[in-house]
Amino acid sequence: MSPLRRNARRRACRGGPALRIFFATDVHGSERCFRKFLAAAEVYRADVLLLGGDVAGKGLIPVVRHNRSVSAEVHGQRVTVPEAQADRLSADINLLGFYPVRMEPDEVEALNDSEELDRLFRREIVAQLTRWCELAAERLAPAVRCIITPGNDDPLEIDAVLAAAPRIESPERQLCDLGPVTLASLGDVTPTPWHTEREYSEEQLAERISAMMDQLPEGRPSVINFHCPPYSSGLDTAAELDAQLRPVLRGGRPSFVPVGSTAVREAIKRYQPTVALHGHIHESRGAQKIGSTLCINPGSDYTADVLRGAIVDIAADGSCHDFLLTTG
């Protein structure tokens, strides 16, 4: 028996939890956050690592070759280093959550073509996730289950990468047995101003949720991993945007409004899972109760290289024993 399994059994014997889940979300291409996510299994003694979507990065920085140097613009500042240090510069850019792409000056111009830029992004996202899956296989203890599901900011191409990774489980829109509870996962969200790839109307979202949750055996405790948080839960408060996608200011401050899903809220009320895990709205970290369900959004602080997460302890009867929001 592995030490991690022994930990779980020891906790259960003491009247503690039978299953410990570590949940994080929205790392958005941050290399350092993903590495911390893998380290969390050992540090928090988790039985299951769950990454709830939005793994893909948002920014791409060309590292441009010159005579004997390379340069890149990072946070608005031009950084130039000798060519011998190009790998380190790329690694630094990667740690900041951007994709460094080596190219010639004339190739940079081509990125003003949105199709070319889109192609490059997809290539880099897939390449990074493939590396991450390999890293997980290398670093995780055999007993630890690692589940990664997509979010609305993840291109559809990543589904195949996750499905092909032997060490990763990706039960998107499926039920997954975790022992005392069944996990249900959905990365789809309601429409956003950015028109990302996994957006659906409230009605479509409700249908997808029902199609999955109705398969759950009667009385079987569940944990849901829905990327989109429930509407007006305090876990979905985001800045209000105008037509140009600029934050609306009221009283000299950004105006905040609820942007979650009513379909998710109704599903929580109807199915009453033990725990509901959400992401999507980075600044809306918190925990709330809807009926008997504990709803958690650990938030995201990937730009500061900080992994925000939640430890959730599930008792042998499938009830929630305890939870703790973490900042690591």
Could you tell me the smallest distance in angstroms from the CB atom of residue 175 to another protein?
26
How many Å apart are CA 122 and CA 21, to the nearest integer? 30
- Residue 216, Ramachandran bin (φ over 0: left; ψ between -120 and 50: alpha; else beta): beta
Residue 283 in the binding site for another protein (CB under 8 A): yes
Residue 43 in the binding site for another protein (CB under 8 A): yes
Query: How far is the CA of 171 from the CAs of 98, 229, 292, in angstroms?
Result: 27, 19, 25
Longest dimension (CA), the chain: 68
Residue 170 in the binding site for another protein (CB under 8 A): no
Residue 36 in the binding site for another protein (CB under 8 A): yes
Residue with smaller CB distance to another protein, 174 or 326: 326
Residue with smaller CB distance to another protein, 194 or 270: 194
> Can you read off the two tokens belonging to residue 46?
């988790």
How many Å apart are CA 175 and CA 183, to the nearest integer? 6
Residue with smaller CB distance to another protein, 43 or 211: 43
Scan residues 79-108 and list those touching another protein (CB under 8 A): 79-81, 85, 88-89, 92-93, 96, 98, 105, 108
Scan residues 6-35 and list those touching another protein (CB under 8 A): 11, 14-16, 28, 32, 35
End-to-end CA distance of the chain: 28
How many Å apart are CA 222 and CA 175, to the nearest integer? 9
Q: Which residues pair with 250 in a beta bridge?
A: 253
β 69-74/145-148 pair status: unpaired
Of 168-176, 218-226, 270-278, 316-324, the segment contacting another protein by CB under 8 A is 316-324
Residue 67 in the binding site for another protein (CB under 8 A): no
Among 7, 126, 175, 328, which residue sits at the site for another protein (rule: CB under 8 A)? 328
Residue with tokens 């957006």, as numbered in its chain: 199
How many Å apart are CA 212 and CA 265, to the nearest integer? 16
Among 1, 68, 77, 217, which residue sits at the site for another protein (rule: CB under 8 A)? 77
Scan residues 209-238 and list those touching another protein (CB under 8 A): 232-234, 237-238
Among 19, 27, 49, 63, which residue sits at the site for another protein (rule: CB under 8 A)? 63
Binding mask 237-276 for another protein (x = CB under 8 A): xxxxx---xxx-xxxxxxxxxx------------------
Residue 111 in the binding site for another protein (CB under 8 A): yes
Residue 153 in the binding site for another protein (CB under 8 A): yes
Residue with smaller CB distance to another protein, 23 or 121: 121
Exposure string for 126-151, b = 16+ CB within 10 A, e = fewer: bebbeebbeebeeebeeebbbbbbbb
Taking a C-beta distance cutoff of 8 angstroms, is the pair 276, 295 a contact? Answer: yes
Q: Which of 5, 40, 52, 51 is nearest to 326 (CA)?
A: 40
Of 161-169, 180-188, 215-223, 277-285, the segment contacting another protein by CB under 8 A is 277-285
Q: How many residues make contact with another protein (CB under 8 A)? A: 103
Residue 321 in the binding site for another protein (CB under 8 A): yes
How many Å apart are CA 91 and CA 225, to the nearest integer? 31
Could you tell me the smallest distance in angstroms from the CB atom of residue 37 to another protein?
8
Q: Which of 196, 198, 25, 55 is nearest to 130 (CA)?
A: 55
Could you tell me the smallest distance in angstroms from the CB atom of residue 276 to another protein?
14
Could you tell me the smallest distance in angstroms from the CB atom of residue 225 to another protein?
18
Among 25, 152, 190, 293, which residue sits at the site for another protein (rule: CB under 8 A)? 152
Residue 123 in the binding site for another protein (CB under 8 A): no
Could you tell me the smallest distance in angstroms from the CB atom of residue 8 to another protein?
13
Taking a C-beta distance cutoff of 8 angstroms, is the pair 44, 311 a contact? Answer: yes
> Can you read off the two tokens belonging to residue 159?
């589904």
